[in-house]
Structure 1
């Protein structure tokens, strides 16, 4: 049992770093999941701050909005 663990650890250690990175590259370029550019933070910091606040604030307030609608609908918790 310990031989298998040791041999698998050696195989993992023997893999070059360049090969490990190739497994995760898709060929479509780097994926960016924010709707703004990082360079904009340096060139237009106020515009970047507003975009960042709107983007992250929207995701934060969606659950609260859903709860409010559920409570205030006809037959909801606040409207029996």
Structure 2
């Protein structure tokens, strides 16, 4: 019984040599924000403005699309 459990554990464990390389690739580190996060410490107002602009742009894209769809010729608001 012990032998079966230990062999199953070995199959699922990650070798120590690959722990640091798990998310490494030749493309460098992935950053999902278009600005440097360290700027929050050095220039907090500039960082807040950039963050708000970035987030609000993504938030208002669907509303802009709905507006143009409704107000086009033959649309919901312009029959």
Q: Which residue of 2 aligns with 1:47?
A: 46
Q: Which residue of 2 aligns with 1:72?
A: 71
Q: Which runs of 5+ in 1 are unaligned?
A: 1-5
- Aligned-pair distance for 1:35? 1.1
Q: Which residue of 2 aligns with 1:26?
A: 25
Q: Which residue of 1 aligns with 2:34?
A: 35
User: What is the root-mean-square deviation in Å for CA atoms of aligned residues?
Assistant: 2.1
Question: TM-score scaled by structure 2?
Answer: 0.79
Q: Which runs of 5+ in 2 are unaligned?
A: 1-5
Question: TM-score scaled by structure 1?
Answer: 0.78
CA distance in 2, matches of 1:63, 1:79: 19
Aligned length: 75
CA distance in 2, matches of 1:8, 1:76: 61
Larger helix share, 1 or 2:
1
CA distance in 2, matches of 1:39, 1:72: 43
